[in-house]
Structure 1
């Protein structure tokens, strides 16, 4: 394939000419590597930029080990290539299926301190484990890479400090109404978010975590204090209705529904991007009849299907929730 030959030779002009003549930017060589993987592995930022602009797919995997272009970039350690891939849709913590390696782990194994720093700066999580149960820090320490290990430890400590700075989220999770009230009065951002570091609280806002924990009065206090209750929360990007429904907090659902005339509220029928579930799907999924009742009273639709093609009534039958299935049948 001529394009691959031009990339391996570092011939940018030839590669550009071939791309203009409709050479396939996602075609694979005999080993299953795409042009983008090869350019990333060779640490060629201009070539990578050219390929991405022409439609190269940063999410494709090679067939033997399941590595993506970002893994190859991490092995080369080229910070510019890493940044280009991440800013064009690459997943920073994507794990290769055979080894379970993230790009961060590959950068460590290939002794690429600059690559490690770049990946950490773009949100790579040090706590992810490969199929041997090793983190990136474990790999650095086992190989005697003290400078790289220090970089990772510093990131872990920085993340811990970020969590401590999210006092309003912490107070909301604990159900500390007076603490929440005091922090709001002190001018703390009511929409602060937990950092994404590999915990169940990643990317939660105070109002999102209060809805998840069933702290109705705190949800209402935050709402009245200007918290954005329409924005998705958590890594699953659910609404407050999703959070309350999943854990069966009918009182939170009822409070949100009762305030719709006063302030904007989350869409009761919003479907989660990962599985297509609505809040009522979530309530059914975990057998919360009272939450199902509250959502129907709030106007939840019963005809929406998940990505598995299931309506809430079908989900209830699948999991053997006869009482919920009967109630939904009566409500349809």
Structure 2
């Protein structure tokens, strides 16, 4: 018996023996399925737990439709398996490339109400659309799944209510520094975050938004109140320095970098590289030709030698985009 056969038979002792004997926990079978995909599709909680403990990857994608173990678990209807995969790093909103379905959509299509409930509780987006431009909610309505539709509607309403209560976020976006100061004095958490609800402001802190919008004095007020400049913001998981650099706000960059250690807040990580593309804040400034922002970063000690995932230093990126004046600035900085 091989590992796949032991999983399909639900034979946990045999699977343990095979793994102890060196069976490949990530071996892809003839259908393109990994062992953890098979166990997840069958709703086998203990088997999935065993495979994950043995090093099974939750990120493997089957080659025909592009689904993951989480898609398979959702189809099984076992919410415990779904939760376990999420705990081990499955991407909750991953869309299958052929259909564009998220796990939440598959849960609706398979009429798995408790799985829908769990995914919504764990933060699944309700705004995603598949390749037929259907959302999870529209799928529920189309199939007359009233109870499931109501679960999704409640989540949408909850997100909207939560966003409406984020007064500090609203004041920062409006550039109302007096209101920002009043709210901070009243005890509003300075590091509050927006929910991930499918909007441009998803997962931002007040400092991230102020940096993005170029509100320099608001940035200073937030920092003085203890806002943490190292907290990643937005879906790109950059830093407030990335935000200021991308939009060319040189004064914000200077404000973020001045008075290190104020109110016990750490100095920003000026050379942090974004996980999606490897860009530093300096790369972001160069990307859109923001010379003043690039100078501010250079003056603050930004490294000039770090490379993006495409292998480019800031100067090489400037040359690639034809920003020859900016490339000269970077070249002079490299020369000292």
Q: TM-score, normalised by structure 2?
A: 0.96
Q: Within 2, Cα distance between the matches of 1:134 and 1:231? A: 34
Aligned to 2:282: 280
Off by >2 Å, runs of 4+ in structure 1: 260-264
Quote the offset at 1:28 in angstroms.
1.9
State yes or no: 1:322 paired with 2:332: no
Tell me how far 1:115 sits from its aligned partner: 0.9
Aligned-pair distance for 1:261?
A: 6.1
- Deviation of the 1:329 alpha carbon: 2.0
| Residue number in structure 1 paired with 2:269 | 267
CA contact 2:116–2:148 (8 Å) conserved in 1: yes
Partner of residue 296 from structure 1, selected from 295, 298, 306: 298
Q: Cα distance, 1:188 vs. partner?
A: 0.8
Q: Distance in 2 between matches of 1:261 and 1:10?
A: 57
CA contact (8 A) 2:257 2:268 kept: no
CA offset digits 1:3-53 (Å, max 9, x no partner): 212211222222222222222211122111111111111111111111111
Hey, what does 1:310 align to over in structure 2? 312
In structure 2, what is the equivalent of residue 27 of structure 1?
Answer: 27
Corresponding residue for 1:197? 197
CA distance in 2, matches of 1:85, 1:29: 20
Contact 2:229 2:256 in 1 (8 A): no
What are the ranges of 5 or more consecutive residues in structure 2 without an aligned counterpart?
none
Paired residue total = 332
> Residue 231 of structure 2 corresponds to which residue in structure 1?
231
Structure 1: tracts of 5 or more residues without a match: none
Corresponding position of 1:130: 130
Task: Answer yes or no: is 1:58 the counterpart of 2:58.
Answer: yes
Query: Are 1:93 and 2:93 an aligned pair?
Result: yes
Following the alignment from structure 2 to structure 1, what is the Cα–Cα distance between the partners of residues 228 and 16? 46
After superposition, the C-alpha distances for 1:275-302 in whole angstroms (9 at most, x for unaligned) are 1111111001011111111111111121
Q: CA deviation at 1:202?
A: 1.1
For 1:159-170, what aligned pairs fall within 5 Å after superposition? 159-170=159-170
Say whether 1:255 aligns with 2:255: yes
Please give the alpha-carbon distance, in whole angstroms, between the structure 2 residues aligned to 1:87 and 1:51: 14
CA RMSD between the two structures: 1.3
The answer as to whether partners of 2:238 and 2:274 remain within 8 angstroms in 1 is yes
Q: Corresponding residue for 1:17?
A: 17
Distance 1:43 1:322, change over 3 A: same
Aligned twin of 2:79: 79
